[in-house]
Amino acid sequence: MGGVAALARELGHEVEGSDQAVYPPMSTQLEQLGIALRQGYQPGNISPDCDEIVVGNALSRGNGAVEQVLDDGRRYTSGAQWLSERVLPGRDTLAVAGTHGKTTTTTILTWLLEAAGRAPGFLIGGVAEDFGVSARIGAGREFVVEADEYDTAFFDKRSKFVHYRPLVAILNNLEYDHADIFPDVAAIQRQFHHLVRTVPRRGRLIVNGEDERLAEVLAMGCWTPVETFGLDAGLARHAAGEGGAAYTWSARLLADDGSAFVVVHDGVEIGEVRWPLLGRHNVMNALAALASAHAVGVDVASVLPALAAFRSVKRRLEVIGEAGGITVYDDFAHHPTAIATTLAGLRARVGGARIVVAMEPRSNSMRLGAHAEALAPSLDGADTVVFLHRPELAWDAGKVVAGLRGEGVAVPDAAVLIEALRARVRAGDHVVFMSNGGFDGAPRRFLAVLQDAAG
């Protein structure tokens, strides 16, 4: 929604907004754009002369502001529909879908198109370090959009990505998530197939060839050329004869932590990448982005060097500081698979150094306990875990703590969490804060404590 607001402002509209909890980095971006922010969903926070109201999908009937908009008969729409009507017509839309990696992959693809001189527009679910904003209109033909499977609005229960009608769609992966709106994986697969139905014959589907659930989606019907990407050749021999290329796009790792790899297209090595990102999952994200750029005519070999300078997105294993020999990271991971892959990448980088995780189980799926059983195994890469167990969590954090490979403790609030971390860390540690919310500012509060102690 912050990105939609930024696009509307760039188009010359006067924009204001309300949210229940406004926090950086998005709040900082909006303030810099001159967009007035108001706290809380109060009817009075919507100016009387407002011409159109864009309603986020977090709001439902019963919300005071929503009820007032309906009673007043005011014009309203969703963020996805506004984008599809006001920004995307006449553009070549490249949509990035998947349970994990959407934000990073969208940003990589945008960066590659920028390096190719395409001046793309984009809408990213985070603040891209290389652009300083989460959205822009762009002067070029391409528009890159992070395409979410979550529902659109209280009045439109379709997934947001069905609004975008992309020329190129990345299907990055598919796992069970969003337990508040999807009863099972099959329900998510149906939504992904709705997206597949919208991609034209002249377009391209860029699909994770290692993901069986995505293969099942394509088996429901596919009318568009498909290119696959992957790393494990053993999982994709169905697509190739003996000795042939397993995937359209693949990589040969030069470093176990994913920081260096060779890109392979149709079995032919086309170039080498050395970049700041970590983890096998980010190599997969890069392959998806490279395939998509190629699909719109970019010479991939010519833009590979640009990845060396890629700085990713805020809150994706972002180093926010170091004090007393302790490195502190802020990360958005909130699904067991994302947690595990992020820690695996960091472990490959830091070797035997201790990894300490501070976790806020905050997503709707986490709060409902949908991932409770998978949470402890996903944290095997951590030596110590401190959970922020808020009262509204519906599951037993003690059971998760007991299942951890390393040490673990659950605490009731952020202040106690910071104290618990301070008592446990020592020089040489890597402390990773994981949350898809504000975490009560805990990452930077903890860093400040370390800096004070270091003098």
pLDDT for res 235? 44
For the ranges 126-130, 182-186, 262-266, 346-350, the one whose mean pLDDT is highest: 262-266
Whether residues 93 and 37 share a domain: the answer is no
Asked whether residue 171 carries a pLDDT value surpassing 70, the answer given is: yes
102-111, 125-134, 366-375, 384-393 — which is least confidently predicted? 366-375
User: At residue 149, what is the residue type?
Assistant: E
Confidence of residue 49 (pLDDT cuts 50, 70, 90): very high
231-240, 272-281, 425-434 — which is least confidently predicted? 231-240
Which CATH number is 409's domain given? 3.90.190.20
pLDDT for res 320? 87
Asked whether residue 13 carries a pLDDT value surpassing 80, the answer given is: yes
Whether residues 277 and 322 share a domain: the answer is no
Question: Using CB atoms within 10 A of its CB, is residue 130 exposed (0-12), middle (13-18) or buried (19+)?
Answer: middle
Q: Which residues contact 388 (CB under 8 A, 6 or more apart)?
A: 358, 359, 360, 361, 410, 411, 412, 413, 414, 417, 435, 439, 442
pLDDT for res 372? 64
**Average pLDDT for residues 181-199, to the nearest whole number?**
92
Whether residues 212 and 131 share a domain: the answer is yes
Asked whether residue 234 carries a pLDDT value surpassing 50, the answer given is: no
**Residue that terminates a domain, selected from 74, 107, 137:** 74
pLDDT for res 271? 95
Listed in sequence order, the DSSP H helices in 155-211 are: 185-198
Asked whether residue 238 carries a pLDDT value surpassing 50, the answer given is: no
Nearest alpha carbon to residue 254 among 283, 225, 281, 234? 283
Whether residues 198 and 161 share a domain: the answer is yes
pLDDT for res 314? 66
Whether residues 235 and 127 share a domain: the answer is yes
User: What is the rounded distance in angstroms from the CA atom of residue 288 to the CA atom of residue 96?
Assistant: 9
CB-based contact 168:289 (threshold 8 Å): no
> Domain for residue 82, yes or no?
no
User: What is the rounded distance in angstroms from the CA atom of residue 413 to the CA atom of residue 285?
Assistant: 34
Whether residues 329 and 401 share a domain: the answer is yes
143-152, 225-234, 305-314, 388-397 — which is least confidently predicted? 388-397
Give the chain's domain count.
Answer: 3
Whether residues 361 and 388 share a domain: the answer is yes
Which CATH number is 97's domain given? 3.40.1190.10
> Domain for residue 83, yes or no?
no
pLDDT for res 130? 84
More confident residue, 40 or 238: 40
User: What is the rounded distance in angstroms from the CA atom of residue 341 to the CA atom of residue 335?
Assistant: 10
**Residue that terminates a domain, selected from 74, 99, 116:** 74
Task: Return mean pLDDT, the chain.
Answer: 89
More confident residue, 37 or 144: 144
pLDDT for res 178? 65
Asked whether residue 430 carries a pLDDT value surpassing 80, the answer given is: yes
Whether residues 259 and 365 share a domain: the answer is no
**Average pLDDT for residues 51-59, to the nearest whole number?**
94
User: At residue 95, what is the residue type?
Assistant: A
pLDDT for res 237? 45
User: What is the rounded distance in angstroms from the CA atom of residue 335 to the CA atom of residue 348?
Assistant: 20
Whether residues 26 and 145 share a domain: the answer is no
**Residue that terminates a domain, selected from 50, 74, 98:** 74
More confident residue, 133 or 155: 155
User: What is the rounded distance in angstroms from the CA atom of residue 96 to the CA atom of residue 122?
Assistant: 11
35-44, 123-132, 250-259 — which is least confidently predicted? 123-132
**Average pLDDT for residues 402-426, to the nearest whole number?**
90
Q: Which domain holds residue 305?
A: 88-309
Nearest alpha carbon to residue 66 among 49, 45, 40, 41? 41
Helix, strand or coil, per DSSP, at residue 417: helix
17-26, 238-247, 321-330 — which is least confidently predicted? 238-247
pLDDT for res 196? 98
CB-based contact 96:107 (threshold 8 Å): no
Count helices and strands (H / E) in the chain. 15, 22
Confidence of residue 437 (pLDDT cuts 50, 70, 90): confident
pLDDT for res 245? 57
Helix, strand or coil, per DSSP, at residue 14: coil
**Average pLDDT for residues 90-98, to the nearest whole number?**
97
Query: What does the DSSP 8-state code read for residue 259?
Result: S
Whether residues 233 and 101 share a domain: the answer is yes
Which CATH number is 52's domain given? 3.40.50.720
Whether residues 70 and 143 share a domain: the answer is no
Confidence of residue 342 (pLDDT cuts 50, 70, 90): confident
pLDDT for res 242? 47
Confidence of residue 232 (pLDDT cuts 50, 70, 90): low
More confident residue, 78 or 32: 78
> Domain for residue 81, yes or no?
no
Query: In the block, which residue shows the tokens 């939609």?
Result: 4
Asked whether residue 229 carries a pLDDT value surpassing 60, the answer given is: yes
Joined tokens for residue 165 = 């009608």
pLDDT for res 128? 81
Confidence of residue 369 (pLDDT cuts 50, 70, 90): low
Confidence of residue 316 (pLDDT cuts 50, 70, 90): confident
